[in-house]
Amino acid sequence: MKQKAVTIKLEQGLEARPVAMLVQVASKHSSSVYLQVEGKKVNAKSIMGMMSLGLDSGEMVTVIADGPDEEEAVADMTDYLCGRN
């Protein structure tokens, strides 16, 4: 399992369109991918789960991945959340 703390740097935060793109980034990996914030852990491949977090720019989240491509999954999720997509 690999995890990394990340500060969201997307201007509009994680509204509908950015969440859909984030779910696409997570879904291209075979590893299980989660975002955790304030003790709440959500499957990053679930649009409804991600929307339930209501995250904004500047918030800190932990990206967690577990599986064969976990390092790449964490790196891709970090790049997206930091606006380096």
Q: Which amino acid is present at 84?
A: R
CB 45 within 8 A of CB 79: no
| Token couple for 56 | 């904004």
Residue type at 76 in one-letter notation: D
- Which amino acid is residue 34, in one-letter code? Y
pLDDT at 13 over 80: no
For 15-50, how does the pLDDT look when each residue is reduced to its tens digit (9 = 90+)? Answer: 889 999 999 999 999 999 999 999 899 999 999 999
pTM of this prediction? 0.93
Q: What is the rounded distance in angstroms from the CA atom of residue 49 to the CA atom of residue 84?
A: 23
What residues have CB less than 8 Å from 83, skipping those under 6 apart?
9, 10, 11
Q: Mention the CATH class of domain 2-81.
A: alpha beta
